[in-house]
Amino acid sequence: ETGVTQTPRHLVMGMTNKKSLKCEQHLGHNAMYWYKQSAKKPLELMFVYSLEERVENNSVPSRFSPECPNSSHLFLHLHTLQPEDSALYLCASSQVLGVMSGELFFGEGSRLTVL
């Protein structure tokens, strides 16, 4: 139990589908993040939210659309994805925004396969 819960854990979708990934943190943190983990590549930061406000969009294609309705929940809406988008999508949270506040708490990830 990490305190950060991601659903679904596995997702297979076609290129024309629309799906969403959900993340919920039970830690009372103010900042939430989406990371992408592909094989043989470093973890890539996608989006950062602080108190429901987006503070970073790390040049992510518009087929990925984040939503943060409150400080405990984070979504990643997916549409018209490409096979190269297949990866492990990790949600993380931190107490406050800023690396000096300490660690990131990661969820277990959503393994996405795009056919």
Partner 1 sequence: GQQVMQIPQYQHVQEGEDFTTYCNSSTTLSNIQWYKQRPGGHPVFLIQLVKSGEVKKQKRLTFQFGEAKKNSSLHITATQTTDVGTYFCAEGSNYKLTFGKGTLLTVNP
Binding residues for partner 1, rule: CB under 8 A, are 2, 31, 40-43, 45, 48, 50, 55-56, 90, 97-100, 102-109
Rounded to 5, what percent of the chain is helix, strand, coil? 5, 55, 40
Residue with Cβ nearer partner 1 (48 or 76): 48
> Are 81 and 18 within 8 A, CB to CB?
no
What's the closest the beta carbon of residue 84 comes to partner 1, in angstroms?
18
What's the closest the beta carbon of residue 90 comes to partner 1, in angstroms?
6
What's the closest the beta carbon of residue 14 comes to partner 1, in angstroms?
25
Residue of 27, 33, 67 lying closest to 50 (CA atoms): 33
> Angle 92-5-17 (CA atoms, 0-180°, nearest 5)?
90
Residue with Cβ nearer partner 1 (64 or 106): 106
Residue with Cβ nearer partner 1 (8 or 98): 98
Residue with Cβ nearer partner 1 (15 or 103): 103
What's the closest the beta carbon of residue 3 comes to partner 1, in angstroms?
12
**Distance between CA 32 and CA 83 in Å, rounded?**
26
For residue 55, the Cα-to-chain-centroid distance in whole angstroms is 14
